[in-house]
Amino acid sequence: MENKHLVILTGAGVSAESGLQTFRDSGGLWENVNIEDVATPRAWRKNPGKVLEFYNYRRQQVLKAEPNHAHRVIAELEKDFMVSIITQNIDDLHERAGSTRVLHLHGEIFSMRSERDETLRYPCRHDIQLGDRAEDGAQLRPDIVWFEEAVPAIEEAANIAMTADVFIIIGTSLQVYPAASLIDFAPKYCPKFLIDKAAVPHDGIQELTIIQKPATEGIELLRQKLAEM
Protein backbone atom coordinates (compact mmCIF):
# COMPACT_ATOMS: atom_id res chain seq x y z
CA MET A 1 0.00 0.00 0.00
CA GLU A 2 3.03 2.29 -0.12
CA ASN A 3 2.27 5.66 -1.74
CA LYS A 4 -1.46 5.00 -1.60
CA HIS A 5 -3.52 8.03 -0.67
CA LEU A 6 -5.13 7.93 2.76
CA VAL A 7 -7.79 10.59 3.28
CA ILE A 8 -8.56 10.97 6.97
CA LEU A 9 -11.58 12.90 8.24
CA THR A 10 -11.18 13.73 11.93
CA GLY A 11 -13.65 15.09 14.43
CA ALA A 12 -13.91 16.18 18.04
CA GLY A 13 -13.32 12.67 19.37
CA VAL A 14 -9.63 12.91 18.41
CA SER A 15 -9.04 16.15 20.33
CA ALA A 16 -11.22 15.09 23.27
CA GLU A 17 -8.50 12.68 24.37
CA SER A 18 -6.14 15.64 24.62
CA GLY A 19 -8.51 17.22 27.14
CA LEU A 20 -10.43 19.42 24.72
CA GLN A 21 -14.13 19.05 25.40
CA THR A 22 -16.68 19.04 22.63
CA PHE A 23 -19.98 20.82 22.13
CA ARG A 24 -21.70 17.48 22.53
CA ASP A 25 -20.19 16.56 25.90
CA SER A 26 -22.73 16.21 28.67
CA GLY A 27 -22.73 19.41 30.66
CA GLY A 28 -21.64 21.51 27.71
CA LEU A 29 -18.29 22.95 26.80
CA TRP A 30 -18.18 26.19 28.70
CA GLU A 31 -20.16 26.77 31.88
CA ASN A 32 -23.20 25.17 30.24
CA VAL A 33 -23.39 27.90 27.61
CA ASN A 34 -25.61 26.97 24.67
CA ILE A 35 -24.08 26.71 21.20
CA GLU A 36 -26.60 29.26 19.93
CA ASP A 37 -25.28 31.83 22.41
CA VAL A 38 -21.62 31.70 21.38
CA ALA A 39 -21.17 30.03 18.00
CA THR A 40 -23.66 31.58 15.58
CA PRO A 41 -23.81 34.82 13.59
CA ARG A 42 -26.87 35.74 15.67
CA ALA A 43 -24.85 35.43 18.85
CA TRP A 44 -22.13 37.64 17.39
CA ARG A 45 -24.63 40.35 16.47
CA LYS A 46 -26.31 40.14 19.88
CA ASN A 47 -23.30 39.93 22.19
CA PRO A 48 -19.89 39.94 20.48
CA GLY A 49 -18.10 40.35 23.80
CA LYS A 50 -19.50 37.05 25.06
CA VAL A 51 -18.50 35.30 21.84
CA LEU A 52 -14.95 36.68 22.07
CA GLU A 53 -14.72 35.59 25.71
CA PHE A 54 -15.78 32.07 24.77
CA TYR A 55 -13.19 31.73 21.99
CA ASN A 56 -10.46 33.41 24.04
CA TYR A 57 -11.06 30.68 26.62
CA ARG A 58 -10.94 27.95 23.98
CA ARG A 59 -7.71 29.39 22.57
CA GLN A 60 -6.08 29.16 25.98
CA GLN A 61 -7.30 25.56 26.29
CA VAL A 62 -5.70 24.61 22.98
CA LEU A 63 -2.42 26.30 23.91
CA LYS A 64 -2.22 24.05 26.98
CA ALA A 65 -3.25 20.84 25.18
CA GLU A 66 -0.81 18.37 23.67
CA PRO A 67 -1.21 15.95 20.73
CA ASN A 68 -2.26 12.48 21.86
CA HIS A 69 -1.39 9.02 20.58
CA ALA A 70 -3.96 9.19 17.78
CA HIS A 71 -2.53 12.47 16.46
CA ARG A 72 0.98 11.03 16.55
CA VAL A 73 0.10 7.78 14.77
CA ILE A 74 -1.76 9.69 12.05
CA ALA A 75 1.38 11.77 11.52
CA GLU A 76 3.54 8.63 11.42
CA LEU A 77 1.41 7.18 8.61
CA GLU A 78 3.09 9.70 6.29
CA LYS A 79 6.16 7.44 6.38
CA ASP A 80 4.32 4.85 4.31
CA PHE A 81 1.43 6.67 2.66
CA MET A 82 0.39 9.95 1.19
CA VAL A 83 -1.91 11.30 3.92
CA SER A 84 -4.43 14.11 3.58
CA ILE A 85 -6.28 15.17 6.72
CA ILE A 86 -9.63 16.91 6.60
CA THR A 87 -10.47 17.99 10.12
CA GLN A 88 -13.58 19.41 11.72
CA ASN A 89 -11.39 20.55 14.63
CA ILE A 90 -10.20 24.13 15.04
CA ASP A 91 -7.09 23.21 17.06
CA ASP A 92 -3.58 22.69 15.68
CA LEU A 93 -2.85 19.33 17.31
CA HIS A 94 -2.48 17.50 13.98
CA GLU A 95 0.15 20.00 12.87
CA ARG A 96 1.98 19.85 16.19
CA ALA A 97 2.05 16.05 15.94
CA GLY A 98 3.81 16.37 12.59
CA SER A 99 1.10 16.03 9.95
CA THR A 100 1.92 18.12 6.89
CA ARG A 101 -1.34 18.20 4.86
CA VAL A 102 -4.23 19.41 7.00
CA LEU A 103 -7.40 21.12 5.77
CA HIS A 104 -9.48 22.78 8.51
CA LEU A 105 -13.13 22.66 7.50
CA HIS A 106 -14.40 24.84 10.34
CA GLY A 107 -11.58 27.36 10.65
CA GLU A 108 -8.66 27.68 13.04
CA ILE A 109 -8.53 28.98 16.60
CA PHE A 110 -5.12 30.58 16.00
CA SER A 111 -6.44 32.79 13.23
CA MET A 112 -8.66 35.87 13.31
CA ARG A 113 -10.32 37.87 10.56
CA SER A 114 -12.27 40.97 9.77
CA GLU A 115 -15.98 40.57 10.45
CA ARG A 116 -16.59 42.40 7.15
CA ASP A 117 -13.99 40.87 4.81
CA GLU A 118 -13.18 37.21 5.43
CA THR A 119 -10.06 37.44 3.26
CA LEU A 120 -8.40 39.73 5.82
CA ARG A 121 -6.89 37.08 8.10
CA TYR A 122 -4.19 37.37 10.75
CA PRO A 123 -2.35 34.97 13.07
CA CYS A 124 -3.77 35.04 16.58
CA ARG A 125 -2.29 33.45 19.70
CA HIS A 126 -3.69 36.03 22.10
CA ASP A 127 -7.10 37.21 23.27
CA ILE A 128 -9.25 39.21 20.87
CA GLN A 129 -10.92 42.21 22.49
CA LEU A 130 -13.80 44.43 21.46
CA GLY A 131 -12.24 47.36 19.63
CA ASP A 132 -9.49 45.27 17.99
CA ARG A 133 -9.73 46.19 14.32
CA ALA A 134 -8.69 44.72 10.98
CA GLU A 135 -7.04 46.96 8.43
CA ASP A 136 -10.46 47.71 6.90
CA GLY A 137 -11.57 49.16 10.24
CA ALA A 138 -13.95 46.31 11.05
CA GLN A 139 -14.00 44.41 14.34
CA LEU A 140 -11.80 41.31 14.41
CA ARG A 141 -13.55 37.99 15.06
CA PRO A 142 -12.36 34.40 15.37
CA ASP A 143 -11.61 32.83 12.00
CA ILE A 144 -14.12 30.09 12.74
CA VAL A 145 -17.02 28.77 10.68
CA TRP A 146 -19.96 29.13 13.02
CA PHE A 147 -23.17 27.14 12.95
CA GLU A 148 -25.52 28.58 10.30
CA GLU A 149 -22.55 29.77 8.20
CA ALA A 150 -21.42 28.25 4.92
CA VAL A 151 -18.35 26.00 4.94
CA PRO A 152 -16.05 27.53 2.30
CA ALA A 153 -13.58 24.61 2.30
CA ILE A 154 -16.17 21.89 1.68
CA GLU A 155 -15.61 21.85 -2.11
CA GLU A 156 -11.86 21.44 -1.69
CA ALA A 157 -12.50 18.70 0.87
CA ALA A 158 -14.84 16.87 -1.51
CA ASN A 159 -12.20 17.00 -4.25
CA ILE A 160 -9.66 15.48 -1.85
CA ALA A 161 -12.10 12.74 -0.84
CA MET A 162 -12.55 11.76 -4.48
CA THR A 163 -8.86 10.87 -4.73
CA ALA A 164 -8.79 8.50 -1.74
CA ASP A 165 -7.40 4.99 -2.02
CA VAL A 166 -8.50 4.49 1.58
CA PHE A 167 -11.01 6.76 3.37
CA ILE A 168 -10.81 6.91 7.16
CA ILE A 169 -13.08 8.67 9.66
CA ILE A 170 -11.82 9.10 13.22
CA GLY A 171 -13.53 10.67 16.21
CA THR A 172 -16.82 11.62 14.61
CA SER A 173 -20.07 9.68 14.34
CA LEU A 174 -20.97 11.22 10.96
CA GLN A 175 -23.69 13.44 12.40
CA VAL A 176 -22.23 16.88 11.56
CA TYR A 177 -23.04 18.12 8.08
CA PRO A 178 -21.77 18.96 5.54
CA ALA A 179 -18.62 17.16 6.79
CA ALA A 180 -20.49 13.86 7.16
CA SER A 181 -21.32 13.91 3.46
CA LEU A 182 -17.66 13.65 2.48
CA ILE A 183 -17.73 9.86 2.70
CA ASP A 184 -20.15 9.95 -0.24
CA PHE A 185 -17.43 11.52 -2.39
CA ALA A 186 -14.90 8.75 -1.71
CA PRO A 187 -14.66 6.13 -4.46
CA LYS A 188 -17.47 3.63 -3.94
CA TYR A 189 -15.33 0.54 -3.58
CA CYS A 190 -12.29 1.95 -1.77
CA PRO A 191 -11.78 0.58 1.76
CA LYS A 192 -13.38 2.77 4.40
CA PHE A 193 -12.90 2.77 8.17
CA LEU A 194 -14.93 4.48 10.88
CA ILE A 195 -13.26 4.79 14.29
CA ASP A 196 -15.45 6.25 17.00
CA LYS A 197 -16.57 5.03 20.40
CA ALA A 198 -20.17 5.88 19.46
CA ALA A 199 -19.98 4.51 15.91
CA VAL A 200 -23.13 2.88 14.57
CA PRO A 201 -23.72 0.82 11.39
CA HIS A 202 -24.28 2.84 8.21
CA ASP A 203 -26.36 1.03 5.64
CA GLY A 204 -25.56 1.78 2.04
CA ILE A 205 -21.87 2.62 2.51
CA GLN A 206 -19.76 0.13 0.59
CA GLU A 207 -16.58 -1.42 2.05
CA LEU A 208 -17.03 0.15 5.51
CA THR A 209 -15.29 -1.34 8.56
CA ILE A 210 -16.44 0.02 11.93
CA ILE A 211 -14.04 0.15 14.89
CA GLN A 212 -16.12 1.10 17.91
CA LYS A 213 -13.33 2.44 20.11
CA PRO A 214 -11.88 5.78 21.20
CA ALA A 215 -9.41 7.28 18.74
CA THR A 216 -6.27 6.41 20.72
CA GLU A 217 -7.28 2.72 20.86
CA GLY A 218 -8.87 2.39 17.45
CA ILE A 219 -5.87 3.90 15.70
CA GLU A 220 -3.76 0.85 16.61
CA LEU A 221 -6.32 -1.51 15.07
CA LEU A 222 -6.36 0.68 11.98
CA ARG A 223 -2.59 0.57 11.74
CA GLN A 224 -2.71 -3.24 11.82
CA LYS A 225 -5.37 -3.39 9.12
CA LEU A 226 -3.43 -1.01 6.88
CA ALA A 227 -0.33 -3.17 7.28
CA GLU A 228 -2.33 -6.21 6.14
CA MET A 229 -3.49 -4.60 2.88
Q: How many CB atoms lie within 10 A of CB 125?
A: 12
Q: Mapped to the 3 state alphabet, what secondary structure does the chain carry?
A: CCCCEEEEEECHHHHHCCCCCCCCCCCCCCCCCCHHHHCCHHHHHHCHHHHHHHHHHHHHHHHHCCCCHHHHHHHHHHHCCEEEEEECCCCCHHHHHCCCCEEECCEEEEEEEECCCCCCEEECCCCCCCCCECCCCCEEEEEECCCCCCCCCHHHHHHHHHCCCEEEEECCCCCCCCHHHHHHHCCCCCCEEEECCCCCCCCCCCCEEEECCCHHHHHHHHHHHHHHC
Kindly name the residue from 69, 106, 126, 202 that is annotated as catalytic.
106
CB 75 within 8 A of CB 89: no
- 106 in active site: yes
Known catalytic residues are 106
